[in-house]
A and B are shown apart, each in its own frame.
Chain A
Amino acid sequence: MQKIGVFVCWCGSNIAATVDVETVSDALAREPGVVFSTNYQYMCSQAGQDMIQEKIRELGLTGVVICSCSPRMHEATFRRACEKAGLNPYLVEIANIREQCSWIHKDKAVGTEKAIILGRAAIAKVQLNAPLTAGESPVTKRALVIGGGIAGIQTALDIAEAGFPVDIVEKKPTIGGKMTQIDKTFPTLDCAACILTPKMVDAAQNEKINIISYAQVEEVAGFVGNFSVKIRKRARFVDETKCTGCGLCTEKCPQKNVPNEFNQGLDNRRAIYIPFAQAVPKVATIDPNYCTMLKTGKCGVCSKVCTAGAIDYRQQDEIIQQEYGAIVAATGFEPISMEKFDEFAYSQSPDVVTSLEFERLMNAAGPTGGTLLRPSDGKHPHTLVFVQCVGSRCDGGEKGKPYCSKICCMYTAKHAMLTREKYPDTEVYVFYIDVRTPGKNFDEFYRRAVEEYGVHYVKGMVGKVAPENGKLKVQASDLLGGRQLHIDADMVVLAAAIEPDRSARPLATMLTASMDTNDFFTEAHPKLRPVESPTAGVFLSGACQGPKDIPETVAQAGAAAAKVIGLLSRDHLTCNPCVAESNELMCNGCSACEKVCPYGAITYIDKEFRGPNRTTLVRRVAQVNPAVCQGCGACTVACPSGAMDLKGFSNAQIMAEVDAICK
């Protein structure tokens, strides 16, 4: 026998002005199952809540209907109150008689009548409510960080600091990412390596951090707190445990003509290589595309010179299967290809370089040892032209990106400034559309480039770069000066737009994390949840979420770590109990529900059922993982037999509401 209590709130005069609360509570008292009905000035007040609790205890109520403001406002409040009085919180229903009744109607008779109907619908529903208990799922106290750039390293360090083990999966032979290639950082001009490499070493030495380099994530299964990840660690043909990183092999390897990706292909490395001196792990790697031994079986020089006996030509890819509670995507960015920008002659002249290449040309560990020399003839350049927004802010077309790459204004100012500082005999032009410097000490930095270092900032995009007699003819328009410029430049530096790393898209698919049209990961809320992906348990760190400079990346990395720590510090996760549930007796096993489930919460098992005449029958039936299901109900409609139902919003409950409203 149902014992339902109805509590009608006046909300001061918010409800009471257009709804006759007395009439409503009287009318609802006569509904079947209702044993108590009253009204009160403010139900959500302490006194109001006390009254509800008292009546639950006194009358042993089996259901509570509160006619008040929107459930979006106080459903949680009332549920908590009822739970304290011993009533299952899911036996509480709210009739929204404020936002959807009193506030939109002027006529008191109309408002009162509608409020009664809304109350009836809530009563009809609550009769069918079942007590629900939020399920719990355990949390694996280990985090996975995908990507070992500054974002990934910082996130891992912060998580490890809190005492949780972290794995970093990095696809390159070393962690460090793009920041290792950068010479100086704006706006302080301190050396990037000097601030990054200690962090890399910290990560390597931290007991809680396990670096899996030269590896890629292949498969992700599971859900928040319980991810199961398959990682492929590619064969580097060098035993990591034996290699001492002495580098002798990299000096002796006879294959010398491999483009060095660390220097953006501006010089060559050997087939066996350590990307750079401070690499972590400092272990050699054989490039199978170039190694003569691996390709033809003839050579073996590195093996002969290696005193540690670390070379292993027969090494195979290794598959690592690991459980994690949280996953952080920190896949970073890439500069876009300049191949399509013919107007800047990138493919025609080696003296047209991207900013990242320029970064290497200025770097002491770079191909020129830090002396700025033209790639074509190794001569000192006198006139340099920097072009901003190359491929950024393009409307449509496959050539460029529609967004602002955010970091180019500042690094171009940095390059221009450094060039003028080191080589005062140079003329430096920067062609810009806008100079965007919103950041601490950013505009001051840009102004210094102009005022102290005499960099020529010209408003206007470069129209054409043509190599001619060892010079680069740059044609541009000075829009503010109203004149056409023809500059004979020695070097042109293109501030290429940045795009998400190519590995991000397949990773997003594996993680069921969503992406925008530009392949940046989407955040759960653009303002309030910037480091969480909409998929629970997946977090975002760094430029994989959008273009970012180093300080922003580090800040976001820390924020992502904080979210991970918050998750991992819990022993159990409570799940929303309003989830789908499959009735195995009715399930056909047809897979329609599985196909529409956006979370992969539905799996199938073969189950034995008793058939007629003592036979057993094996049928395929759906099972819902309540920890993964978010309760959208798509499956319930895809299911023809009605075997799939949604707790809290069951077919019968919604039908009861429909009936109450349409009477």
Chain B
Amino acid sequence: MQVNQEFRPTIAAFCCNWCSYAGADLAGTNRLQYPADVKIIRIPCSCRLNPLFILRAFQRGADGVILCGCHPGDCHYTTGNYYARRRMTLLFSMLDYLGIERERTRVEWVSAAEGAKFAETMNEFVSTVARLGENRRLEDLRCKSE
């Protein structure tokens, strides 16, 4: 597939305060590059991520949304990411069911020590979303042009 050089996706990355946000900081401290398309929103725990936020991001023009949290079992609040995992699994499955490209949403567990993994994940996710192009489908679900 031809990658559109012009197109820069908008990516919202929700990061839990304790692991993934710190992992993102570590990526910075180690000067690991990843595209500026990624903008991080700090939340206390991955379980704070309301599906509303994801849909809202898509509504306002995000092309991809990624959630990063502590690895299962390492949650600062002991169980938060387990709930987040179920919620996101079901939500992503629903989006897929509606015909939205499933590559636009993703969950990745990144610990505070995994700066490299954070940067790698973001690089990969941005290129995946860039390949998909602009997110139109959620918007288009409603507008029947025929």
A contacts, CB < 8 Å to B:
70-72, 96, 98-101, 103-106, 110-111, 113-114, 117-118, 121, 514, 534, 578, 596, 598, 630-634, 636-638, 646, 649, 651, 654-655, 657-659, 661-663
Contact = CB atoms under 8 A, between A and B. Distances in A.
Interface in B5-53: 10, 12, 17, 21-22, 24-29, 31-34, 36, 39-45, 47-53
In this complex, which of A117, A657, A658 has the most chain B Cβ atoms within 10 angstroms of its Cβ?
A: A658
Given A70-B28, A105-B36, A637-B83, 8 more contacts: A96-B40, A103-B31, A118-B39, A646-B48, A649-B43, A654-B50, A657-B41, A662-B62
Nearest to A662: B60
A651 B52 contact: yes
A646 B43 CA distance: 10
Contacts of B79: 596, 598, 634
A578 B10 CA distance: 29
Contacts of A598: 77-80
B133 interface: no
A646 B83 contact: no
Nearest to A111: B36
Given A514-B78, A637-B87, A632 B36 contact: no
Contact of B48 (A71, A111, A636, A659): A636
A631 B79 CA distance: 13
A359 B28 CA distance: 58
Nearest to B115: A99
A596 B36 CA distance: 35
Contacts of B83: 596, 634, 637-638
A342 B96 CA distance: 57
Contacts of B51: 637
Contacts of A114: 36, 39
B57 interface: yes
User: Sorted from nearest, which 9 A-B pairs have the closest CB atoms?
Assistant: A99-B28, A633-B48, A632-B77, A662-B60, A634-B47, A103-B28, A99-B25, A632-B45, A114-B36
A632 B48 contact: yes
A654 B61 contact: no
Contacts of B12: 658, 661-662
A662 B10 contact: yes
Given A72-B21, A100-B25, A655-B56, A661 B39 contact: yes
A104 B122 CA distance: 12
19 contacts: A70-B21, A72-B22, A96-B42, A98-B28, A99-B28, A103-B28, A104-B27, A106-B33, A534-B78, A598-B79, A632-B47, A632-B77, A634-B77, A636-B48, A637-B47, A646-B48, A658-B56, A658-B60, A659-B60
Given A111-B36, A118-B39, A633-B48, A663 B31 contact: no
A651 B41 contact: no
A632 B79 CA distance: 10
Nearest to B63: A662
Contacts of A654: 41, 43, 48, 50, 53
A534 B73 CA distance: 14
Contact of A578 (B41, B44, B62): B44
B129 interface: no
A513 to B, nearest CB: 10
Contact of A632 (B21, B44, B56): B44
Given A632-B44, A637-B87, A104 B56 contact: no
B119 interface: yes
A218 B77 CA distance: 25
In this complex, which of B12, B42, B56, B62 has the most chain A Cβ atoms within 10 angstroms of its Cβ?
A: B42
A658 B60 CA distance: 8
Contacts of A111: 36
A104 B60 CA distance: 25
Given A71-B42, A121-B39, A634-B47, A104 B80 contact: no
A96 B50 CA distance: 23
A663 B10 CA distance: 9
Nearest to A638: B83
B138 to A, nearest CB: 12
Contacts of B44: 578, 631-633, 646, 649
A93 to B, nearest CB: 10
A654 B29 CA distance: 26
Contact of A634 (B26, B28, B57, B80): B80
Nearest to B60: A662
In this complex, which of B36, B40, B56, B87 has the most chain A Cβ atoms within 10 angstroms of its Cβ?
A: B36
A534 B75 CA distance: 11
Given A104-B31, A104-B33, A72 B47 contact: no
Given A96-B40, A103-B31, A637 B56 contact: no
A110 B34 CA distance: 12
Given A634-B48, A637-B50, A658 B80 contact: no
Contacts of B28: 70, 98-101, 103-104
A111 B83 CA distance: 35
Contacts of B31: 103-104
A646 B33 CA distance: 33
Interface in B53-70: 53, 56-57, 60-62
A263 B64 CA distance: 68
